[in-house]
């Protein structure tokens, strides 16, 4: 379990190094993220949304996740219980974004590992 946590911590660090408007929540573990919203129409500074990847376990495996943005709270969250029964996730763009970043970072780590192996053989 510790190995998995440290590998995922590494992945969160990789994502941090990309300097994107998304980061692991301070003091939290890697499953909770802060994601900047797109620029607001009124020109004010973007909001930061809290995404929890581990919320709402799906029956066939995986997690729906939750977000505190308006779209998730008022439109998706009231329908999540029914979506858990159907197994079709209801995710806002912030949840989808964080999930995509985690996959990208895992692939980045795999790519580095493969390139390292190639260099070792030479």
Looking only at Cα atoms, what is the longest distance across the chain? 57
Q: Stretches 39-47, 56-64, 91-99, 107-115: which one binds Zn ion (CB under 5 A)?
A: 91-99
**Smallest separation, CB 13 to Zn ion (Å):** 24
Handedness of CA 115, 119, 120, 122 (dihedral sign): positive
**Smallest separation, CB 89 to Zn ion (Å):** 13
Give the one residue of 11, 12, 24, 69 binding Zn ion; rule: CB under 5 A: 69
Verify binding: residue 92, Zn ion, rule CB under 5 A: yes
Verify binding: residue 67, Zn ion, rule CB under 5 A: yes
Query: Which region, left, alpha or beta, applies to residue 44 given φ > 0 means left and ψ of -120 to 50 means alpha?
Result: beta
Verify binding: residue 94, Zn ion, rule CB under 5 A: yes
User: 93-121 and 2-17 are packed helices; what angle lies between their axes, rounded to 10 degrees?
Assistant: 100
Verify binding: residue 91, Zn ion, rule CB under 5 A: no
Phi/psi at 11 (5° precision): -60, -40
Verify binding: residue 22, Zn ion, rule CB under 5 A: no
Helix (H, G, I), strand (E, B) or coil at 20: coil
Verify binding: residue 53, Zn ion, rule CB under 5 A: no
Task: Return residues touching Zn ion (CB under 5 A).
Answer: 49, 67, 69, 72, 92, 94
């Amino acid at each position: 379990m510790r190995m998995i946590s440290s590998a995922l911590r590494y992945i969160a660090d990789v994502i941090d190094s990309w300097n994107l408007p998304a980061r692991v929540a301070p003091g939290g573990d890697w499953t909770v993220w802060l994601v900047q919203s797109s620029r607001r129409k009124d020109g004010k500074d973007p909001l930061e949304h809290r995404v929890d990847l581990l919320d709402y376990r799906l029956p066939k495996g995986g997690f729906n996740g939750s977000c505190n943005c308006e779209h998730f709270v008022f439109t998706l969250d009231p329908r999540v219980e029914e979506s858990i029964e159907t197994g079709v996730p209801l995710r806002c763009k912030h949840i989808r974004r964080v999930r995509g970043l985690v996959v990208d970072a895992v692939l980045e780590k795999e790519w580095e590992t493969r390139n390292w192996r190639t260099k070792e053989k030479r």
